[in-house]
């Protein structure tokens, strides 16, 4: 009896869009914007075409936003410069997932500028 290893990846742009938009959970739960995409990426990266690229970019982006927010909090004491950092995190953290969800629905690669590449 022969066992076949079925490793073909399926194309599922709706799951990629959902993964991108799940980052917005940070505004509701606080940390759901990192945990939910991380779980989706880890469970689906070998099954869905493009999930590995999208997942890595999402995790890198969320970790970068978290790092910027942590650095900005003590920066508030330095002439209020941390407030600008927190405003940047809030705006970019809301706009970029929506832009990349639209790109994912069109079959394009995600692009996150000013992101530190923790996972390559």
In a domain, 116, yes or no: no
At 93 the pLDDT is 92
Burial of 59 (0-12, 13-18, 19+ CB in 10 A): middle
Query: Structural domain tally of the chain?
Result: 1
CA distances from 117 to 5, 54, 56, 61, 64 (A): 32, 13, 9, 8, 9
At 57 the pLDDT is 92
Domain that holds residue 101: 13-105
Report the predicted TM-score, pTM, of the whole model to 2 decimal places: 0.85
In a domain, 61, yes or no: yes
The answer to whether the beta carbons of residues 30 and 58 sit under 8 Å apart is no
In a domain, 7, yes or no: no
Backbone φ and ψ of 99, nearest 5°: -60, -45
In a domain, 118, yes or no: no
In a domain, 120, yes or no: no
In a domain, 112, yes or no: no
In a domain, 1, yes or no: no
In a domain, 31, yes or no: yes
The tens-digit pLDDT sequence of the chain (120 residues) is: 556 555 677 787 888 999 999 999 988 887 788 899 999 999 988 888 888 899 999 999 999 999 999 999 898 888 788 899 999 999 999 999 999 999 999 988 888 888 888 888
């Amino acid at each position: 009896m022969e066992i076949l290893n079925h490793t073909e990846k399926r194309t599922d742009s709706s799951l990629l869009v959902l993964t991108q938009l799940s980052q917005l959970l940070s505004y509701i739960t606080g940390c759901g914007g990192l945990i939910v995409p991380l779980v989706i990426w880890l469970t689906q990266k070998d099954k869905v075409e493009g999930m590995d690229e999208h997942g890595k970019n999402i995790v890198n982006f969320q970790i970068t936003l978290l790092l910027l927010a942590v650095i900005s909090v003590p920066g508030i004491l330095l002439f209020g410069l941390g407030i600008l950092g927190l405003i940047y995190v809030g705006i970019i953290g809301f706009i970029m997932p929506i832009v990349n969800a639209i790109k994912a629905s069109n079959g394009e690669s995600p692009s996150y500028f000013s992101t530190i590449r923790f996972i390559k």
